[in-house]
Amino acid sequence: MHKPLIDKYGRHVSYLRVSVTDRCDFRCTYCMAENMTFLPKSQVLTLEELDQLCSAFIARGVRKLRLTGGEPLVRRGIMDLIRDLSRHLKSGALEELTLTTNGSQLATYADDLARAGVKRLNISLDTLDHQKFAEITRRGRLEQVLTGLQAAKEAGIGIKINAVALRGQNEDEFSRMLAWCGQEGFDLCLIETMPLGDIDGDRTDHYLPLTVVRERLEKDWTLIPSNHVTPGPARYVSVAETGGRLGFITPLTHNFCEGCNRVRITCTGTLYMCLGQEDHIDLREILRENDPAALDAALDRAMLLKPKGHDFIIDRKGQKPAVSRHMSMTGG
């Protein structure tokens, strides 16, 4: 048995998020610059390397694995990787294999995902207004996403909708989205915009505290404190009128770091111990040296670097992102 991954604060790292690509078919305004320069293929881990790396973490006690991007379902051969990783579900070493996706490719892949053992998906969807959707994503079509959601639902996959709260863009839609999620049987999770990456704009213009959003929602809905807990950072309430759940991810108004059990790997094999910190370890070269002992030692070093909390702040004076890398690079 390999020893578990325990950081210097005694937190057991049991949740790994892996970006399988930095590419995406959308260019969401809070996530990417409009004209992105993507990585050359030689810098991106192969599917075999991604499998090897994920398996090394699973051997060290990771129980939940989330594949992200960019958009993970635009990665060529992605279903081969998912099917290979599903062996850890069958063995019992892994409790859950899931994805965060924009939903654009779900009509094609929903049935295959279900057959591979994917039981839940997080779908990034910030608006139900067709024009606003096109504006926020810069190139997406809402109809395509809604078709994909229906395909996933019919395949028996549970859905959680992730919506980033954007002042002046979608702040008047959350009551409608909550009603829609209740009708469809989806959970809804609202997220404060995070200061990551240069996105060609002043992020402070769109920052909307979720304390404000919650106060507005409570005029229309009865929100009941919930004991529901997931490996992620959301805090949940139950919605009395629909029986559904509503989550809040508040990196700026309420630090969620005290129980953090997560680390992230970029598509280049860089391990970040915190979404809001720059400390990292390059695992790509270690992987390519094919030295399992060196990889294990690198994971032990990483646990010593995992910080107690992030440094997120919306900086109105400097107007600089807290972290220079884009969310699409790190993985959502």
The annotation status of 181 as a binding-site residue, yes or no, is no
Number of residues assigned to the chain: 332
Distance CA 331, CA 284 (A): 16
Q: Known binder of ligand: residue 262?
A: yes
CA distances from 164 to 1, 47, 130, 154, 193 (A): 40, 30, 16, 26, 6
Annotated ligand binding at 317? The verdict is no
Rounded to whole angstroms, the Cα distance separating 94 from 59 reads: 9
Residue 263 assigned ligand-binding role: yes
In angstroms, the CA 153 to CA 114 distance is: 10
Whether residue 229 is annotated as binding a ligand: the answer is no
The answer to whether 303 is a known ligand-binding residue is no
Read off the amino acid at residue 33: A
d(C-alpha 111, C-alpha 102), whole Å: 17
Q: Is residue 247 part of an annotated ligand binding site?
A: no
**Annotated binding-site residue? 260:** yes
189 is in an annotated binding site: no
Strands 262-265 and 15-19: parallel
264 annotated binding-site participant: yes
- The response to whether 127 counts as a known ligand-binding position is no
236 is in an annotated binding site: no
CA-based angle 239:240:241, to the nearest 5? 95
DSSP 3-state of 162: strand
Q: Say whether 176 counts as a known binding-site residue.
A: no
274 is in an annotated binding site: yes
- Contact criterion met (CB below 8 Å) for 310 and 177: no
For 176-181, the CB contacts below 8 A with 24+ separation are 176/128, 177/127, 177/128, 178/217, 178/220, 178/221, 178/239, 178/242, 178/244, 178/246, 179/242, 180/128, 181/242, 181/244
What is the dihedral sign for C-alpha 311, 274, 262, 16?
Answer: positive
For residue 315 the two structure tokens come to 């900086």
How many other C-beta atoms can be found within 10 angstroms of the C-beta atom of residue 207? Answer: 19
Q: Is 32 annotated as a binding residue?
A: no
Contact 157, 120 (CB under 8 A): yes
Answer yes or no: is 11 a known binding residue: no
CA atoms within 13 A on the CB side of 94: 25
Q: Residues within the annotated binding site for S-adenosyl-L-methionine?
A: 30, 70, 124, 194
Q: Residues within the annotated binding site?
A: 17, 24, 28, 30-31, 66, 70, 100, 124, 160, 194, 257, 260, 262-264, 274
Q: Residues within the annotated binding site for GTP?
A: 17, 66, 100, 160, 262-264
Q: Residues within the annotated binding site for [4Fe-4S] cluster?
A: 24, 28, 31, 257, 260, 274
